[in-house]
Amino acid sequence: MTRAWLDPDVAGVLCARGGYGSLRAVDLVDWAAVGAHRKVFAGSSDITALHTRFHAAGHATWFGPMIGTRAFVEDTAAREHLRRALFTGVTGWRGTGRTPGVARGAAFGGNLSLLFDTPPPAGAVVLLEDVDEEPYRLDRMLTGMRRTGWFDDVAALVLGSWTGCGNAAPVLADRLGDLGVPVVADVPFGHCAGQLTLPLGVSVEVDGDTGVVTVVP
């Protein structure tokens, strides 16, 4: 990835697959060199590990579909969402308001199972989704994160898809609903049909009453 990022003829890096092994790859990237250049970076799933490092380096990135998968090739809506994000931009998105209130912060997050040991910056708006994790495993991760203070300084939460996670809603409500911050759920990002491409590392405003998330210029 470092070679592609530093190539002057490359405008951006779009991750083809979810990226099993991304946690190991993080240690192989020359982040000092990468941090000196601003380019497009997009990916999701295990690519979350790279998003968090880009965030630490001050880069905005895109949490979007994996372009080398059949799910992307056969999903017209997901392809269009990615195209619009890269060439037009994103002004906001809508979900379901779960916990009231309004808050602003830098968007941070991605795949829950890749984030449990990477606390967000203070005041962040955290985006979470996952795939093929049973509710008891989500409970285990979220409870462990609560105990380590992972959520102590977040400004708001935005919850995406939980495909293959059974009935995740009760666990999410129990583990996240009493944090005292606005929560918007049911936003179609992550491992789902028609997934949105959402920006990370930019300021957003979360309205837990209306379920609207707005990118702050």
> What is the set of active-site residues?
45, 129, 191
Residue type, 91: T
Q: Which residues contact 66 (CB under 8 A, 6 or more apart)?
A: 15, 16, 17, 18, 43, 44, 45, 47, 72
